Amino acid sequence: MMLELGLNQQPAHTRQGSSIGQPLTRRDGFLKVTGTARYAADNHPPGMLYAVLAVSSIARGRVVSLDIEAAKAHSGVVEVMTPLNRPALAVDPDAKDHPFMFRLDLLQNDGVRYPNQSIAVVIAETLEAATEGAALLSPRYETLPARVGLDGGKSFVPRGVGVGNPAVQEKGDVEAGLESARTRIEAAYETPAQYHNAMEPHAIVAAWDGDQLSIDTPSQGLAMAQGRIAGLFGIAPRNVHIRSPFLGGGFGSKGMISGPQVLGILAARLVGRPVKLVLRREQMYGPVGHRAPARQTLRMGMDGEGRLTALSHHARTTSSTFDDFFEPAADASHTLYASPAIATSHDAVRLDTGTPLFMRAPGEATGSIALESAIDEAAHACGMDPLEFRLRNYAEVEPMTGKPFSSKALRECYEQAAEAFGWASRPLQPRRMRDADGFLTGWGMGTATFPALMFQAEARAVLRADGSGLMETGAQDMGQGAWTAFAQIAADGLGLDIDQVDFRAGSSDLPNAGIAGGSGHTATAGMAIHNAGAAVIARLADLATGNEASPLFGAGNEGVLARGGRLYRRDDESRGESYSEILARAGLAEIEGHGKGAPDPASQETYAKHAHGAVFAEVKVDPDLGQIRVTRLVGAFAAGRVINPRLVRSQYYGGMIWGVSFALHEEAVTDRRSGRIQNANLAEYHVPVNADVPSVEALLVHEDDPHVNALGIKGVGEIGITGTAGAVANAVWHATGVRPRRFPIRIEDLLG
Amino acid sequence: MRDFDFIRPATISDAIAAAAGPGSAYLAGGTNLLDLMKGGITSPERIVDITRLPELNRIETLDDGGLRIGALVRNADLAHDPAFAKAYPAVAEALLSGASAQLRNAATVGGNLLQRTRCSYFYDTASACNRREPGSGCSALGGENRLHAILGWSDACIATHPSDFCVPLVALDTVVEIEGKEGRRHVTLEEFHRLPGDTPQRETMLEPGELIVAVRLPAEAASFAAHARYLKVRERTSYAFAVVSAAAALVVDRGKIRGARLALGGVAAKPWRARSAEAALLGADADEASFVRAADAALADASPSGDNAFKIELARRIVVRALMAAKAGTPERMPALPASPFSSIPGVRHDA
Amino acid sequence: MTSKTTIPVHLDINGQRHTLELEPRVTLLDALRDRLGLTGTKKGCDHGQCGACTVHVDGERVLACLTLAAQAAGRTITTIEGLAREGELHPVQAAFLEQDAFQCGYCTPGQIMSAVACIREGHAGSDEEIREYMAGNLCRCGAYPHIVAAVRQAALEAAS
């Protein structure tokens, strides 16, 4: 079962260039449009069995009995894995050594702590037999009352929110600021639990060979997954080989290895054969994370000119009863609007749900829809145009910290998007616009922002005697275009045409590329690639400049340029030689270099680093029936250097559509008595369909950032959802005069 | 999914014979049945595949001017049949507003009538549901029920029927042709679906083993062709079940209503024929005031079964709007967004 | 309970005839993926709610997850693997590539099979119509604007 992790198939399209900034079509595109891109569940090693989870239908209690005999009697069923026969693990799945080690449900006992928790695994010769075997287990439970909803438990202040931010932060005197204000607003907004619902359900194909473990599974963080699995099984990380060339979407839900994926590995160990385990869609509503619901209260005070005198943002959120992840929603108020006094705070309740986790713009998205709605309310209270109000409160330095921004082209974003949208002709008052068909029409805006994060990554670069290059890093492509963008950075770093570069990624056997998350993968792994390229070119330059036979002799390492597979003298480009000539002279088959990507601590200390954007939305609302349709979205984003505008635009579109979804569609409906999610499917858990997305435009605003990293990359994966959700909500207000205070906005909220 | 015997009969009578035993189910498009089987909501022991019975696949004009549509005619084929769409535009529009193009290519006329509710408690086998398991109770009562019934519900069941197709059909006096061991019989669609009462598990008038072989539209149904619309409010623009829908069909002569048909979808356990509204419309001026009176009549007996009082007001408004749309006249072409309140919005600019 | 017996099922897929011994409960989707190794057709929901498993049966788009393999016996089935001819991409595939009409790629085979049918049905006459008639294919990445552009491009090519 060899899986080629390079993309050697020649894409059947014309190259438009070969380096950073070019709108290349996807290098993996040919595979994806022909159905030959191999996702985890597409693997089928010889002798493979199928495993299907049985999951709990109660939210809290314990499993009293399972009809294992009935399952085993079903033709084709090979084994049933329960807490009684589950192979031993080296560590307790409930152990938590650090905040990012999330507790897993791996049949450690008969307890149930959320609906859809795994309670057994049925392993069979066919998928059909395993599925029916799981149904035949007919579990009986001892049930305790479920704790449901934002008021479902005693609230407390978490020790940290998000990745460990303080739950409560304050700058200046908010109460005094409110007291002194000419105008004040206070508003509360509720957002629901949301589920990632990547189109590809979590899947794993696991095969053991002694203590060597071979896995096909989608992962946004291969090295982390490798380390977690190795720890659980007590084997060396190098013995865990994970292939994840393509993720069918992740959005955060594939950042951490999930319980069901580990159960697939356990099942393979139990039966001594390769096993495939794929979550059923309904089983994705529990063990693989979600965005927690929130209730946010914002208070703002403004002076006579519409300047903020105080901004207070409180968020109530939820976590599971057994682990900690707290959506840092209120932190959205730290970075966007200047105010002499800012206070943010969080509290939480514990519910009988799976642990919430990172979901596309975790905290930022939830916080943004409330903040941008409240800013809109504040602008209206001051009688100001929402754009003018935002410009009046434009933050020249990061409001919470006072740090200068490493770069911030938000003004340009506002200008360009407003111009493209035609914002200037917007009436100030709501319910003033109707279209020719009588639909209420509204225009709203929101500011988008997302931090420019970097993590840790490594890459290995090789130059070969034939003049070609190899770049290796265990990067993950979940749709953002890593196969293409990283190849572009690699080609640039190696001074080669992109077709001369063999780019390998998507495997834990390659150097650790860090996590594809936090919109930081391109910057982090990109810098590792860039530095690896620089290292191997430096090595090559040493070979040339130190050799009298080379036309580059004596130029010094810094005096050499690399381009198109040749080194040139910086001071005389007529003098140069090809990589293969240099390597041939040195008698080397290949040379290699290594590079790392990581945030620069000095600039981290000095600068606030964020991408920014502005989003304008037009909605139509049926005046009688309350049905809403977004008819136009225009966004402008400044996120540092753009590696590939074609891919970046797609990322912005995707984020903006998530913003529409946040405002209008997504909501997990939980039965208040049982705690079970009643719409754990894709028919009634609504994500937008094509017809919900009429016209989208994303403008790429130029921004040079000398501080974020040498490549000037910020990140584009998540920013689109921020700003957009609020823009849609504000457009609904502008159309109807009804201020949305809970999301998704419902028909009944607009019936009047 | 439980395994089952798979039988493919060659004739209708073979099919009926094959399905005579308990635990049998007919398989047509399979779009609902297979979904239910995967969820363990229904577990037939024997599947009788009727998809290769050619006599069920015809659309015929009857001698009396009516139309007979075979039970196996697929939703897409019917909706896109130009003669059909011209004569029964609201039916075509309703068909095209349901599900997705892929599902409409599989789903059949007969299967559509037999669609089960989308009540989440019916689907959730860990919940009580009198419809799925008689006597177990109704978890929807007191549960998450903002989309549940506002008409004709009982304490035993507050589910709604999800079909779009059936809504204009019931308005147009459609008759269901049923064949069983005892021969062929006819039931009006209005009688075909039952209200829950104390026996919500008895969803239709079909007896065990009986097969829908066709539906018949009477000749008169085509007389509304110039003024017939279906309107459906959804929580996303497409590929969603109705929150509330309405089919309205009028005969208008010099401003007076000479014929009126009205039915609602998403409001009850059956497609809801609003006869009192029709009576209020007959002879009245074809104007908004009459339509508002009709809407009030249609919803006079409505009551919330939970957190769904808004559906009563929404239903009133959709009745008015559907009647206004019908009065305005059937559009020349099928709208790009069939049955959508936004069907009149022309395509907008696209940047790419 | 013991399983019922298997039945022989003849499937004509991408011009090739296959005979499988299947339990009747096997869906066309699982037959394609698990029995025949045709894994281009994806399973996103297994309930007819996402469109990822769209294939053509007798030239028309249907959902393989809600079709029993036995129901498709004797019919002509086309999957994403059968679209490109002799290494030459189908115009819809080429348009998807050119317009960046996908991101993660998981829904893409279903989108493309749906788009081919959408154009053939004559439902690609305007962007609004494309949006409606492609609404049965969810894309969580949000590639919709580019999907519309790709369908429009391929429809125009087909018309010229």
Which subunits have 3 or more CB–CB pairs within 8 Å of chain C? A, B
In this prediction, residues A724-749 reach a mean pLDDT of 98
Q: Is B109 on the interface with A (CB under 8 A)?
A: no
Total structural domains within chain C: 2
CA A608, A610, A616: angle at the middle one, nearest 5? 140
Q: What is the rounded CA–CA span in Å between residue B103 and residue C11? A: 21
pLDDT category, A17, cuts 50, 70, 90? very low
DSSP A467: S
* Whether the domain at A294-453+605-750 and the domain at A457-598 fall into the same CATH topology: yes
Q: In the predicted model, is pLDDT for residue A7 greater than 90?
A: no
In 3D space, the residue among C41, C44, C47, C38 whose CA is nearest the CA of residue C16 turns out to be C38
Does residue B40 sit in helix, strand or coil? coil
CA A746, A748, A750: angle at the middle one, nearest 5? 85
CATH code, residues A457-598:
3.30.365.10
A718 is catalytic: yes
Pick from A13, A647, A689: which is nearest to C97 by CB? A13
A 10 A CB-CB count for C95 gives 25
Q: What is the rounded CA–CA span in Å between residue A57 and residue A118? A: 10
Does residue B84 sit in helix, strand or coil? helix
Task: Identify the pLDDT of residue A16.
Answer: 32
Q: In the predicted model, is pLDDT for residue A15 greater than 50?
A: no
Distance from CA of C69 to the nearest CA of A (A): 13
Task: Identify the pLDDT of residue B54.
Answer: 85
Torsions phi, psi for A274 (to 5 deg): -60, 145
Q: In the predicted model, is pLDDT for residue A6 greater than 70?
A: no
In a domain, C137, yes or no: yes
> Which residues on A lie below 8 Å from C30 (Cβ)?
127-128
Query: What residue type is A273 in one-letter code?
Result: R
* Whether the domain at B5-52 and the domain at B54-114+161-220 fall into the same CATH topology: no
pLDDT category, B343, cuts 50, 70, 90? confident
CATH homologous superfamily, domain B222-328: CO dehydrogenase flavoprotein, C-terminal domain (3.30.390.50)
Task: Identify the pLDDT of residue B344.
Answer: 74
Q: What is the rounded CA–CA span in Å between residue B119 and residue A549? A: 82
| Mean residue pLDDT across chain A | 96
Task: Identify the pLDDT of residue C4.
Answer: 59
Surface of A (269-288) touching C: CB under 8 A: 278, 280-281
Q: What is the rounded CA–CA span in Å between residue A352 and residue A354? A: 7
Q: In the predicted model, is pLDDT for residue A340 greater than 70?
A: yes
Q: What is the rounded CA–CA span in Å between residue A656 and residue A687? A: 13
Residues C47 and C113 in one domain: no
Residues C64 and C108 in one domain: no
User: Element (H or E) spanning A621, and its range?
Assistant: strand A610-621
Residues C33 and C76 in one domain: yes
pLDDT category, B209, cuts 50, 70, 90? very high
pLDDT category, A2, cuts 50, 70, 90? very low
Q: Does domain B54-114+161-220 have CATH number 3.40.50.10860?
A: no
* Chosen domain end from C82, C103, C122: C82
In a domain, C2, yes or no: no
Residues C56 and C13 in one domain: yes
Q: What is the rounded CA–CA span in Å between residue C37 and residue C31? A: 8
**% chain B with pLDDT above 70:** 98
CA B132, B133, B136: angle at the middle one, nearest 5? 125
* Chosen domain end from C48, C82, C116: C82
Q: In the predicted model, is pLDDT for residue A14 greater than 50?
A: no
Task: Identify the pLDDT of residue C160.
Answer: 87
Q: Give residue ranges of C with CB < 8 Å to any B CB.
A: 1, 3-4, 7, 23-25, 27, 46-48, 51, 54, 60-63, 65-68, 70-71, 99, 114, 117-118, 121, 123, 126-129, 131-133, 135-137, 145-146, 148-149
Q: What is the rounded CA–CA span in Å between residue B12 and residue B8? A: 11
Q: What is the rounded CA–CA span in Å between residue A454 and residue A598? A: 6
- Whether residue A478 and residue C108 make contact (CB cut-off 8 A), yes or no, is no
A200, A618, A666, A718: which is the annotated catalytic residue? A718
Give A113-151 pLDDT, tens digit per residue: 999 999 999 999 999 999 999 999 999 999 999 999 999
Give A427-466 pLDDT, tens digit per residue: 999 999 999 999 999 999 999 999 999 999 999 999 999 9
pTM of the entire predicted model: 0.97
Q: In the predicted model, is pLDDT for residue A257 greater than 70?
A: yes
Locate the chain C residue with the closest alpha carbon to A133. Answer: C1
Using only the alpha carbons of chain B, give its radius of gyration. Answer: 20
Bridge partners (DSSP) listed for residue A619 = A442, A630
**Is the Cα torsion angle A485, A490, A492, A497 positive or negative in sign?**
negative
In a domain, C1, yes or no: no
Task: Identify the pLDDT of residue B347.
Answer: 35
Q: In the predicted model, is pLDDT for residue B107 greater than 50?
A: yes
| Mean residue pLDDT across chain B | 96
In 3D space, the residue among B250, B209, B212, B243 whose CA is nearest the CA of residue B229 turns out to be B250
Residues C49 and C69 in one domain: yes
Query: What residue type is A345 in one-letter code?
Result: S
Residue A8: alpha-carbon gap to chain centroid: 28
Q: Is C4 on the interface with A (CB under 8 A)?
A: no
Distance from CA of C23 to the nearest CA of A (A): 9
Give C111-160 pLDDT, tens digit per residue: 999 999 999 999 999 999 999 999 999 999 999 999 999 999 999 999 98
Task: Identify the pLDDT of residue C5.
Answer: 86
Q: What is the rounded CA–CA span in Å between residue C64 and residue A188? A: 45
Q: In the predicted model, is pLDDT for residue A630 greater than 90?
A: yes
- Whether residue A479 and residue C41 make contact (CB cut-off 8 A), yes or no, is no
Give C55-87 pLDDT, tens digit per residue: 999 999 999 999 999 999 999 999 999 999 888
Give B247-287 pLDDT, tens digit per residue: 999 999 999 999 999 999 999 999 999 999 999 999 999 99
Which residue range forms the structural domain that includes residue C35? Answer: 7-82
Does residue A119 sit in helix, strand or coil? strand
Q: In the predicted model, is pLDDT for residue A52 greater than 80?
A: yes
Give A527-542 pLDDT, tens digit per residue: 999 999 999 999 999 9
* Chosen domain end from C82, C99, C126: C82
Torsions phi, psi for A373 (to 5 deg): -65, -45
Give the strands of the sheet with B211-217, arranged side by side: B59-61, B67-70, B211-217, B175-180, B183-188
In this prediction, residues B74-84 reach a mean pLDDT of 97
Residues C11 and C78 in one domain: yes
Residues C24 and C42 in one domain: yes
In 3D space, the residue among B73, B80, B79, B23 whose CA is nearest the CA of residue B50 turns out to be B73
Give A565-581 pLDDT, tens digit per residue: 999 999 999 999 999 99
Q: What is the rounded CA–CA span in Å between residue A80 and residue A78? A: 7
- Whether residue C135 and residue B238 make contact (CB cut-off 8 A), yes or no, is yes
Sequence-ordered strand ranges (E) for A82-148: 111-112, 118-124, 140-143
- For residue A530, how many C-alpha atoms fall within 13 Å in the half-sphere facing its CB? 18
CATH code, residues A49-145+199-249+254-284:
3.30.365.10
Task: Identify the pLDDT of residue B345.
Answer: 52
Q: What is the rounded CA–CA span in Å between residue A309 and residue A300? A: 7
In this prediction, residues C5-17 reach a mean pLDDT of 96
> Which residues on C lie below 8 Å from B103 (Cβ)?
48, 63, 66, 136
Does residue B262 sit in helix, strand or coil? strand
pLDDT category, B349, cuts 50, 70, 90? very low
Longest pairwise C-alpha distance within chain B? 62
In this prediction, residues A306-321 reach a mean pLDDT of 98
Class of the CATH-defined domain A294-453+605-750:
alpha beta
Q: Name, in order, each residue with C-beta under 8 angstroms of A298's C-beta and a sequence gap of 6 or more.
A: A185, A186, A187, A188, A189, A311, A312, A313, A314, A333, A370, A371, A374
Q: Name, in order, each residue with C-beta under 8 angstroms of B104's C-beta and a sequence gap of 6 or more.
A: B74, B75, B76, B79, B95, B96, B98
A 10 A CB-CB count for B11 gives 10
Q: What is the rounded CA–CA span in Å between residue C144 and residue C114? A: 13
In a domain, C14, yes or no: yes
User: Residue C11 maps to which CATH number?
Assistant: 3.10.20.30
Which subunits have 3 or more CB–CB pairs within 8 Å of chain A? B, C
Q: What is the rounded CA–CA span in Å between residue A740 and residue A616? A: 17
Quick one: B133 exposed, middle or buried, by C-beta within 10 A (0-12, 13-18, 19+)? middle
Pick from A44, A200, A654: which is nearest to C37 by CB? A44
ipTM: 0.98
Name the token pair of A417: 């998007």
Pick from C27, C127, C136: which is nearest to B100 by CB? C136
What is the C-alpha end-to-end distance of chain A, expressed in Å?
A: 61
Pick from B126, B127, B341: which is nearest to A627 by CB? B341
In this prediction, residues B296-300 reach a mean pLDDT of 98
DSSP code per residue over A164-230:
TB-SEEEES-HHHHHHT-SEEEEEEEEE--B----SS--EEEEEEETTEEEEE---S-HHHHHHHHH
Given a contact cutoff of 8 angstroms between Cβ atoms, the answer to whether C110 and C96 are in contact is no
Q: Name, in order, each residue with C-beta under 8 angstroms of B15's C-beta and a sequence gap of 6 or more.
A: B9, B26, B48, B50, B53, B211
CATH code, residues B5-52:
3.30.43.10
Pick from B120, B125, B240: which is nearest to A686 by CB? B240
Q: Is A73 on the interface with B (CB under 8 A)?
A: no
Does residue B298 sit in helix, strand or coil? helix
Q: What is the rounded CA–CA span in Å between residue A202 and residue A279? A: 6
User: Residue C144 maps to which CATH number?
Assistant: 1.10.150.120
Q: Where are the domains of chain B?
A: 5-52, 54-114+161-220, 222-328
Surface of A (603-662) touching C: CB under 8 A: 646-647, 649-651, 653-658
